[in-house]
Amino acid sequence: MLPEMGSSSRLYERWCWIEIVRSLLRRGFQIDRGSTQILDGERGLLGLDDMRITLSDGESTVRLNSARNVSGLDRILELEVEGSAGVSRYAFKPMFGVTPSSLEQSVHELLRLGGYKVVVLIVPSDVEPALRENVYMVPLVPGGSKLSFRGLLGALLSQG
């Protein structure tokens, strides 16, 4: 499935957004339709800059939307978890076509982001999950296993 995506980082980014939502639904969250905007008035998908969704499981509220990174050139997927322990914010950065230099540059820039408890780099290849200074790298491959990604997301929600 991934080769069919060609070199479309925007398509991979949208797919990652949907996988985050699907993972939350699997954990028992429900969509708050009044706070969610994924479709425009003509029922077409909105651009990633305008998409936002709010989900709740009765104890926690999760908001997912797009935000610009430090340079303002790339988007990150921002996940905000509000629960009894307060509010925690996490940044997810889909990395399509990763090279060692682009990875290092992204890690450097994402570490400069303020206010995020953890930053997660999502890569479309089978790599071992890794951690570096509150920056995780986790694989999320179309058609592949999503266990590492869902495990990390579950751990972040439980810290929330």
Please tell me the predicted confidence (pLDDT) of residue 80: 93
Q: Is the pLDDT of residue 46 over 60?
A: no
> Which residues on neighbouring strands pair with residue 123, listed in sequence order?
139
CA distance 26 to 120: 20
Q: What is the pLDDT of residue 38?
A: 58
- The number of distinct structural domains making up the chain is 1
Quote the domain boundaries for residue 90: 2-159
- pLDDT tens sequence across 87-145: 999 988 888 876 667 777 777 777 776 678 888 888 887 766 676 777 888 888 888 88
Structure tokens at 99: 């090279």
The pTM of the full predicted model, rounded to 2 decimals, is: 0.79
Q: Rounded CA gap, 62 and 66, in Å? A: 14
The pLDDT of residue 70 is 54
**Predicted local distance difference test score (pLDDT) of residue 5:** 47
Task: Count Cα atoms within 13 angstroms, Cβ side, for 17.
Answer: 26
